[in-house]
Amino acid sequence: MSIREAFQFYQKGQLAQAAELCQRILRENPQDFSVLHLMGLIALQNGEPARAAGLINQSLLINATDALAWSNYSAALIAHLRFEEALGAADRAIALKPDFAGAHNNRANALRSLEKLDEALASYDRAIELKPDLAEAHDNRGGVLSGLGRLNEALQSHERALALWANPKFHNNRAILLERMDRPEEALASWDAARALAPDVAAYHHGRAGALRVLKRCGEALAGYDAALRLDPTFADAHSNRGVVLNDLARHDEALAAFDTAILLKPTIAATHNHRGASLDIMGRHAEAAEAYARAIALKPDFADAHMNLGMAALQLGEVARGWQEYEWRWKVGGLKLQPERFTQPKWTGAEPLEGKTILLHNEQGLGDALHFVRYAKLVAALGGRVVLEVQKPLVSLLTGTEGVHAVVARGDTLPAFDFHSPLLSLPLAFGTTLDTIPADIPYLKGDPALVAEWRARLGEKTKPRIGLTWSGNAVQKNDGNRSMTLATLMAHLPPDFDYVSLQKDVRDEDRQTLAARSDIRPLGETFRDFSDTAAVCELMDAVVTVCTSTAHLSAGMGKPTFIALCFNPCWRWMLERTDSPWYPSARLYRQAAPKDWTRALKQLGADLGSSL
């Protein structure tokens, strides 16, 4: 019975045997420095950092000159989240043995935990200088470089660590970095390697499932989260992310149950409350969704995603004052890739005088948003501002000459000098817009008279009511699978004996066949050069039937009778249950009664269209 035998058990991973032998030695010699030190290491391996720190501290009371013990004490204190003390312990180890690479590594770990990343990097570099094959230091260095935003250098450090030691933790850390670098295929390969080396670690299944979800392999992702939960049923993050994938798979009831389980296990994860809110939103339970977002914000006050989601939920509920305020958080939501920092001029909030000033109004989102909110240009100009409007190129011709707009510039072109700027979707907040003060002076959009005459000649004499049609939006838009439909679906519910005109610029393959087979639909949209042509043809229509896409805003902004088919959970601007819109007096709204089911909405739309013309 000796400390050497106990240490051999420890090295083989036979921790119970090593601990039993240590206890037997301590019964004979309670002040054995080496045994107390080893028992601390065993406790650390067993995931008992508080006990580990206590045992190693006892050993140091017996022998305070052992650099290894001080270094291990630092590691135990880091695991116990006592970072300042851990830094002091590492410094004691280094004072006793300046060339001790492991102590420099632990010192760096403590500094990293204290968010002193530059100092941590210097300590990792020193550890590597002393011991170039210290794989852990290379891996940890990669983590610090990642935190400093030096991602390519970080990847090199992780790969150097793996070249020295194929440790599953190193594969995991490399995968996390690759995911951050938007390289999900490579991240997946790293998580596969980690899982192969340690198949019983739930975190590796969890990480792998995340990469699969990014790759839109949702069925496999769900299986990955299930595998993680079989290994660790209390893994709250896995339950939460499983819920996200279930939402992607349109299994919203199951998703909500997964979020509820995650919250039961760990109620303080703000992201889970936010995800739960998104699920409730999709299910049409917007008031409950708003409550979930508010709980997320209570847990994490600077949670931009939750603030923005709360803003959209409030707008949908008609709580517009709260909605505009919360929606301003969109600038801090990374996934939207907005660019608030591209202007050095101050943002106009509605309080700053504009008399004699030039203000740039710029569209930060889709074409429909520009058509919806350009109405505010007239209000800005009425305050004395000289308005320059920046929009996407397809809108420049249409919006040139809009009331209140001095000049229109295509996004990406050189901008004139200006004093203030405002995103178009921030103008409702700047003007304190309420439901009663929505500027709905229609029309504010119009077709170019010359183009209208050109298209009138091409269409020929009108013998029956003309109806413009748009049935799908941008295919890459996140909600397009819900808001768009096929042409065949739409036409099955529209009355005969009208002169139908396709305004659809981008026609999908399945719709092209339908379009070719229908002699009662004129396929004009694909010949449009830009929105000026769309507007000119809209001027010649008696009504427009459309889904929630830019054509809806164009037609309704022109004051045309516009019949808008909305999915079960439409954009916030259409609010809830209403068949009208305070934004567009000439619009009628037709809502799905259930997700993916257009039948009732289109049947009513067709009946109203037939009776109104």
* Cα 407 from chain centroid (whole Å): 34
Shared-domain flag, residues 405 and 366: yes
Q: Is residue 561 part of a domain?
A: yes
Shared-domain flag, residues 561 and 508: yes
Shared-domain flag, residues 481 and 600: yes
> 3-state SS string over 304-372?
HHHHHHHHHHHHHCCCHHHHHHHHHHHHHCHHHCCCHHHCCCCECCCCCCCCCCEEEEECCCCHHHHHH
Shared-domain flag, residues 456 and 603: yes
Can you give the pLDDT at residue 3?
Answer: 86
Which phi and psi angles does 76 have, rounded to 5°?
-65, -40
Shared-domain flag, residues 423 and 359: yes
Q: Is residue 101 part of a domain?
A: no
Q: Is residue 272 part of a domain?
A: no
Judged by DSSP in three states, 383 sits in: coil
Last residue of a domain, one of 430, 463, 479: 430
Q: Is residue 551 part of a domain?
A: yes
Shared-domain flag, residues 407 and 488: no
Shared-domain flag, residues 421 and 351: yes
Give me the half-sphere count of Cα atoms (radius 13 Å) on the Cβ side of residue 473. 24
Can you give the pLDDT at residue 334?
Answer: 77
Q: Which helix (H) or strand (E) element contains residue 30?
A: none
**Residue ranges in the chain whose pLDDT is less than 50:** none
Last residue of a domain, one of 368, 403, 430: 430
Shared-domain flag, residues 398 and 456: no
| Cβ 504 vs Cβ 525: under 8 Å | yes
Shared-domain flag, residues 596 and 476: yes
Q: Is residue 43 part of a domain?
A: no
Residue among 389, 530, 526 nearest 448 (CA): 530
Domain, as residue range, for 480: 449-612
Total number of domains in the chain: 2
| Cβ 364 vs Cβ 425: under 8 Å | yes
Can you give the pLDDT at residue 162?
Answer: 97
Distance CA 215, CA 300 (A): 28
Q: Is residue 197 part of a domain?
A: no
Can you give the pLDDT at residue 342?
Answer: 80
Shared-domain flag, residues 579 and 453: yes
Burial-class residue 115 by CB neighbours within 10 Å (0-12, 13-18, 19+): exposed
Can you give the pLDDT at residue 6?
Answer: 83
Structure-token match 């008279």, residue found: 449
- The CATH code of the domain that includes 412 is 3.40.50
Structure-token match 């209000």, residue found: 379
Can you give the pLDDT at residue 75?
Answer: 96
| Cβ 567 vs Cβ 595: under 8 Å | yes
Last residue of a domain, one of 375, 401, 430: 430
Distance CA 167, CA 198 (A): 9
- The CATH code of the domain that includes 516 is 3.40.50.2000
Can you give the pLDDT at residue 479?
Answer: 84
Q: Is residue 266 part of a domain?
A: no
Q: Is residue 154 part of a domain?
A: no
Shared-domain flag, residues 358 and 410: yes
Shared-domain flag, residues 426 and 506: no
